[in-house]
Structures are given as structure tokens and as C-alpha cells.
Chains A and B, each alone.
Chain A
Amino acid sequence: MREILLGYGIFAMFYVMLVTIVYFVILFFSYRNIYNIQRGATYNRLQTLSGSEYVPPVSLLVPAFNEELTIKENVRNLLTLNYPVYEVIVINDGSQDQTLQVLIDEFKLKYSNNQAIRYSVNASKVKGVYYNPNYPNLYVIDSDNGGKAGALNVGINFSHYPLISSIDADSLLEKDALLRIARVYMENPEEIVAIGGNVRIANGCKIENGSIKEVKLPKKIWPLLQTIEYMKAFIGGRIGWSSINGLIIVSGAFGVFQKNYVIKVGGYRGGYPGEDMNIIIKLHRYMLENNIPYKVAYCPDAVCWTQAPDTYRILSSQRKRWGRGNLKNMIENKDMILRTRYKQFGFFTMPYNVFFETFNPYVKITGFLALVGYALIDMTAINIVLVFTLINFLSGYLLTVGSLILEEIAFQRYPKIKDNIKMILFSAVLFLGYYQLGVLWRLQGHIEFLQNNNTWGVMTRQSWNEESE
């Protein structure tokens, strides 16, 4: 029994080490790319592009479900972006609160039940379009509740421009964010099918009139931990994944897509969370099956600030939803794994996601329990448990430090030295409970999946003003 427990525990530790090595490889790719990204962001004068006729017009699609507390500021924020030609299409996804009324009152919108809508993809039923000529690039569409995917599909059908951008209604874009993404798109317009923006946590920041005035770290523990977690994922991870064209997700909070390809793959898949990952997998599949050269890019200097869950209940609900979405997407696309046809996506991205993301909770929990069991049988072996736990902790910590250095080299969004100290200290907390909870939430998400639970879960918003205070 002891040998079995030890053997399995060691297997789990090697699994963890292998995951860590993969993380380091990705981090290495991020480092290799960071100087190019930094140069592109520093030396390209955005002022020139902001007045250029050559910048492609974009339709911003904002699905809104029960967003009465934040929607006003979000739409105001989107209407003042520094971008030549764009439209904002808010899709009220059958909200049960006053989301629609808030928008009607704020922008003095008028109802129209008869608007020219193209039916390119399956979408929720449209009840009407609201418009005010004084805000010529703002449209609010009232639709039946069809989930985020259904609402985004409504937006695709209504949109007038060749590029679409999905933006969460609880997020604020930096003034130049869209322009920065457009710059990256314009550098390779034939191949880029999707570009993700960088999502940062807005909790704690000073917000005025729908824009971030002062960047600060969150005061509450949950958003603070997510700030570090997002930085690791978006700076340390996604830059690397994009450099090998292996991105499996463009965050639903902010991403830009070539509309014709999104239509070709049938738009967003409804009825289940994880639509942001699903659309990217579908794009990879379509392009690879049709042998079309393509790229899913990432633009870390295009920043979207989002409200992070600040209570245990909301955060756990969000993570369970992510777990369900991930599992559903992996099961649906298992045929892509290790198939030559799907190139780097089939040989690297998909196996990584299945073995190191989806299976992660099972191996980590059982491996840890095996080692604990082994140590309980023979207390002299406790040092083995401690040593391997320490390695796990230190290698993860090293990744955090690596991501923080990348942030400091290229972006420097957090101005104070004490912000760095705080992040360094709280990075330790990530490993002392937070990640373990993440494993548990993912496992619970999988259980929910087996129970056929495909709801969105709990999500409550705070007004931006309240958050700022």
C-alpha cells in the first residue's frame, strides 16, 4: 500500500513538474516576444492612426444581462474611444432588471420595431432597436434572453462593419485600446482572424466618467489575488501562446474578430458557458481544415479593465462555470487532439488543455492525498511531502516573478513600488489556499457538467462609483 501511495504521489509530483516546465516554456516565448511588442507599442504613433482613413471600422458588441449598475458608464466609456469609425451595439439579453430603461433614459433613445437586420447566424429573437440620432453610432437592441452567445449573435446580425469586437458590459476600455488592436490587425490583415486584448482588474482603481483615472491595486483580498492571477495568465501566458499561434481563448471581455470568419463558423455557440473559448476553437478548426493561413493574435497593450468578483460566492460560481465550459469544449473537440491535420493546435494546445487544465484537479488532489496518506503511514517520510510541496510552491512563485518582470519591462501599469511589494507578498497566498480552491472549484464545475447544469451561475455587479470608493 505504502509503495502504491508513494508511486502515485511521485507520479503526481512529476505531473506538476511537467506542467511547470510547460509554463516555463510558454514564459520563455513571452520573453522572446516582449521586446517586439514593446517597440510596436512605443514607437507607433497612435495619434496618426486615430485620424487615418485606412483604419478598419469596427462594430463593438456589448451583450448586457442585468447590468443596470454599470451599463451607463460602460456605454459612455465606449462612445468616447479614440478610434476613427466604429459603432456600439448594446444587446439587452432579456434582462430582468432596469438595464434597458437605464439606457433609454440616459441616451434618450427611441423605439423602433422595424430595423434592417441581416440574418447571418442563429440568434435570439429581436424585440426592437432603440436609437437616438444624437448618438449616431449607438444602437441598443432589445432581445429575448438567449445567453451571452445568443446576444452576441444578435449583434453580429445587426452589425455594419467587417470587424466585430465582443466587450463585456462590466468592463471599461482604455481610450486607445481599440486602436492598438487595429494596429496589430493592420500589420497582418489577411491572416489574423481574431485578436485578444489584455484584461486587467479594475477593482480598487479610481474611475471617473467611465474611465480609469488612477491605477491602484484592489484592497479586497479576492480581487487582489485575481489581479496577480490575471497578470500571470495574460502577460506571462498569452503572449507566449500567441507567438506559437496556440491561443485557445480570446477573453470574452475584449476581443476583435473578422466577422466573415465568425459567420462562416456559425457564430457563437449558445446554450453553454465557455463561448469565448468555443469560438476560438471553431476558428482554429475551420482555418486548419480549409488550409487557410491564419493567426489568432494577442495585443497585451490594448487594455480592458474589468470588475472582478469580490466575494467567495461569486468567484467560486465564476470558476465553476469556467470549469464546465472548459470540459464541454474539450469533449466536443476531442477529435482534434494529436491529429496532424490540426498542426500546433492539435499537438500542443489541445493536449495541454486536456491533460494540464481539464485533468489538473484530479491529479493534483489525488496525488496530494496519496502523499499525505503515505506520510501518515510512515511519519518519517513527511520530509518527502514537504520537499515536493516546497518545489511546487517555489517553481510557481518563480513564474509569478517572471510575469511581474515582463509587466515591468513593457507595461508598468502599477506606478508605485509598494504595489510590486504587495503583489510579491500576495503571490505566496496564491499557493497557500487560492490555487487549491481553484482546483476544487474546477472539480465542482465538472460535477455540475455531469449534472447537466448549464446556467450562468451567480453574478452580481457593483456600480463603478461604489467600486471606486
Chain B
Amino acid sequence: MYPTLTIAIIMIYICIAIILVGLVVLFSIKIYSMRKEKLEKYYLNKNKEYFKYILINIDSQIGLMAPPVFINNFEMKVIQRKLVEWIEDFKGKSRENLIGLCEELGLITKELERLKYPITSIKVDAAYYLGGMRSEKAVPIMIEFLKSVKYSSVTFIIARAVAKCVKNPEDLKELTKIMVSFRKGFHDLIADIIMESEVDYVPIFNDFLEDSDPDLIKVALIVLSHHTKPKVNQTIVKLVDSEEKELRIKAVKVLTRSNKFLEVHHLTKWLHNEDWEIRSVIVKSLGNMGDKRAIPYLKMSLADSSWWVRYNSAKSLLLLGEGGFTALCEAAIENDDPFKSDMAQDVLHEEITKGIVNEKDIQEIIKYNNRRKIYESYFKTIAM
């Protein structure tokens, strides 16, 4: 017999053995998960009345009572999942009662214990549930845990859990700094995670604007640009001239949401900015403001070198009533700049062919008919 053949035969036995082990593993996982699913359904059904009780008394001033009968570990996990789901959905007194119930059931203490386990998967699971149950006690351990893990999906699970639990602004600050230290550019996701917190984040992020770390400033600008009316200070104004393009754009986004800067004369000075992204943000804001004084500036921007600035200028003119619409028609027939007239024609045509969305809305019908008349006065017929 060839020696290669002997090795090959040994290989056959090894393969068969591994396949058999694999099949056992495969079917064990399958049977386990099927059984788990069945049990979950059973316990959800068993506790139907108790869940009903919780929902009826969720706002109760005296809090919620634990189930009257003995509950095994698996059943407790099923109840915990339901409670955490509701904590996410409810706010105020209802949420407070649900968290109180979790505490009374010993769920928080149990998860705090699990958070100290040496196995990462158990710790992640515990952090997730502690976040769900808004446990402030868990914050210091979870922050340490976050510091110890390598960058991966797990990072965000722990960070979100911490954000949900923090009550102290200093902890929120620390959380943001840890996340930024990964230097992966996920600024939007950090902002999204921060929004989970109940802490007033505006003063913290105003402070970050003064920081020397550009990543922290970026996160601060993102958070503040989504705030309804951010308080604008000179730091943000200075950032518009920053050397880093992303900072300049983000700073302008914050400014265009501020009351103080929502004035045509404030915004138009950036219409000649070297970054097309900034000019684009500005023309969008001019449209959203609804101030007719912006019409000549927007008409001018229809000749911008960037397609997006021209497009957003045209769209903004549509938001400025008959005056804006007329300016767009004028731009469409002017011969001085083909980019300007092409964009004006395209957007006008798009608008006219859209027709009326809600045929019962009298205001919309009047608006459309007026626009149609203006359009016809410039172009005689409407190409449909």
C-alpha cells in the first residue's frame, strides 16, 4: 500500500469523526433553541394575567407588586425581557414603577453580580440588561468594562447601556471621551448613544466645543446641531473658519439652527464660502427660514459651480411662495448662465408635473393654480 494512501485513509476516518461530532453539535443547538422557544412561549402565556396587572397599574402611585408565586430562573428571564422591553417604551412614572419592580425582583442585583463574571459574553448580556433597567449602580463597573474591551460591536452595546444608566454629567462626559478615544470616526453613533441619556447634555457639549480634541468638538457639533435651538457662542462662529473642513461644515449646521443666526444677512455672507457643502447648507436654511429677502441671494446661487448648491437653491426658492417661484421662472429664461437656467427649468418642471398631492386641500389647490398661472405666463404652455 502507498504511504500516501494510508495517510488518506486516516484522513477519511478523521473527517467522518469530525462530521459526526458536528452533526451532534448541530442538532443539539437546534433542539436546545426549539425547547427554549417553546418554554418562552409557555411562560409568556402563564404570566399573561400578571402582565395584564402590570399594564393596568403601570402608573400606580404605590408601585408594582412582584408575582405572587415562585418563579424559576428561566421564567424570571422571560419576565425580565418583557419588563426591559416596556421600560424602553414607557417614560415617567410608568418607567419608574417598572424599574422599581425589577429592583424588587432582585434582577438588578443579579445582573450586577453577572457583570463581575470573567466571561465576556455574560458581562455583555448583564450590561445590556442593566442598561435596560437604568441601573445607576452599574455605571462605574460598566465604564471600566468599556475601557477594557477592544473596539467591536460590543463596544456600542456597553456604551449604550452606560448612556441609559448615567445620572451624573461627569459620567456622560467620561463616556463620550472613551468613545472618541477609539478614533474610528463614529461621531453620529456617539451622538445617537448620548441621546439615550436622561442627563442634560447641552452644557456638557457646549464645554466640549472649547476642547482641543477635534473629535470631541465634532461630536459636540453633531449633538448640538440636532438640538432644537442651540445656544450659539463665539466658539462655534470661530469654528466656521477652522482648518478642518468637517469642523467648518458641522459648525455651519449648528449656526443655521440657531435663532440668533437665522437672519438673512447673517447667512448670506457664507454664500461665497470655498466649501460647496457650506454653501449648500446655507441655501437650504434660507429656504427653510421662509424669509422673502433671501430670494435674490438664492437666485444668484442658481449659478453656483456646485450642482448641489444649484439644486438646493432652486428647491429653496420653491419654499418662498409666489415670489420664489417667479424668481425661478425668471432664472429659467435668462440666458446669462446655462447652468442656472437648466437647473431652474428642471426643478420648475418637476414641481409643475407633480400636480396636487391632496385634492381636498383648498390651500394647496389655490397655491398650485397660482403657480401654474405664473408658469404659463412665462412658458405659455405646460408640458405634461
Number of B residues near A (Cβ < 8 Å) is 59
Residues of A within 8 A of B30 (CB): 408, 417, 420
Of A191, A394, A420, the residue contacting B16 (CB under 8 A) is A394
A387 CB contacts on chain B under 8 angstroms: 5, 8-9, 12
Min CB gap A345→B, angstroms? 21
B357 lies within 8 A of A36 (CB): no
For B315, the closest partner residue in chain A by CB is A116
- Tell me which residues across on chain B come within 8 A of A116, comparing CB atoms: 311, 314, 343, 346-347, 350
Q: Quick one: given A56-B188, A420-B30, are A44 and B157 in contact (CB under 8 Å)?
A: yes
User: In the complex, what distance in Å separates the CA atom of A409 from the CA atom of B28?
Assistant: 11
Asked whether B153 lies within 8 Å of A397 as measured between CB atoms, the reply is: no
Interface stretch of the complex, out of A182-190, A218-226, A280-288 = A182-190
Q: Are B157 and A43 in contact (CB under 8 A)?
A: yes
CB <8 Å contact, B26 and A408: yes
The reply to whether B185 and A405 contact each other, CB–CB distance below 8 Å, is no
Which among A45-53, A95-103, A451-459 touches the partner chain?
A: A45-53
Nearest chain B CB to A224 CB, angstrom units: 18
Contact A401 B26 (CB under 8 A): yes
Residues of chain A with a CB closer than 8 A to B347's CB = 116
Q: Does B154 count as interface, using CB distance less than 8 angstroms?
A: yes
Check A417/B4 contact, CB under 8 A, given A39-B153, A116-B311, A394-B19.
no
Shortest C-beta distance, A348 to chain B (Å), equals 22
Which residues of A204-257 have CB atoms within 8 Å of chain B's CB atoms? none
Q: Does A111 lie at the interface of the complex (its beta carbon under 8 Å from any beta carbon of B)?
A: yes
- The answer to whether B335 has its CB under 8 Å from any CB of chain A is no
Nearest-neighbor residue (CB-CB) of A47 within chain B: B88
- Bound state CA distance, A442 and B121, in angstroms? 43
Report if A360 contacts B (CB, 8 A). Answer: no
Residues of A within 8 A of B26 (CB): 401, 404-405, 408, 420, 424
B39 contacts A by Cβ under 8 Å: no
Q: Is B70 an interface residue (CB 8 A)?
A: no
With both chains docked as a complex, state the minimum distance between the C-beta of B155 and any C-beta of chain A, in angstroms: 8
B34 contacts A49, C-beta separation under 8 Å:
no
- Pick the contact of A115 from B18, B121, B192, B350 — CB < 8 Å? B350
Does A40 lie within 8 Å of B157, measured CB to CB?
yes
Cβ contact within 8 Å between B196 and A394: no
CB distance from B342 to the nearest CB of A (A): 9
A390 at the interface (CB under 8 A from B): yes
Q: Contacts of B2 on A, CB cut-off 8 Å? A: 384
A391 interface contact, C-beta 8 A? yes
A190 touching B12 in the complex, CB below 8 Å, given contacts A384-B2, A412-B33 = no
- When distances are taken between beta carbons in the complex, the residues of chain B under 8 Å from A390 are 12
On A, residues with C-beta under 8 Å from B are 10, 35-37, 39-40, 43-45, 47-49, 52-56, 110-118, 131, 133-134, 186-191, 383-384, 387-388, 390-391, 394-395, 397-398, 401-402, 404-405, 408-409, 412, 417, 420, 424
What are 15 A-B contacts with C-beta separation under 8 Å? A10-B4, A39-B121, A40-B154, A47-B88, A48-B196, A114-B383, A115-B346, A116-B347, A131-B354, A188-B184, A391-B15, A402-B22, A405-B26, A417-B34, A424-B23
A-B contacts besides A118-B311, A131-B354, A398-B22, 12 pairs, CB < 8 Å: A40-B156, A43-B125, A49-B192, A110-B353, A115-B350, A133-B357, A186-B188, A186-B189, A187-B153, A383-B5, A390-B12, A394-B12
Interface residues, chain B, CB within 8 Å of chain A? 2, 4-5, 8-9, 11-12, 15-16, 18-19, 22-23, 25-27, 29-31, 33-34, 88, 121, 124-125, 128, 152-154, 156-157, 160, 184-186, 188-189, 191-192, 195-196, 222, 226, 307-308, 311, 314, 343, 345-347, 349-350, 353-355, 357, 383-384
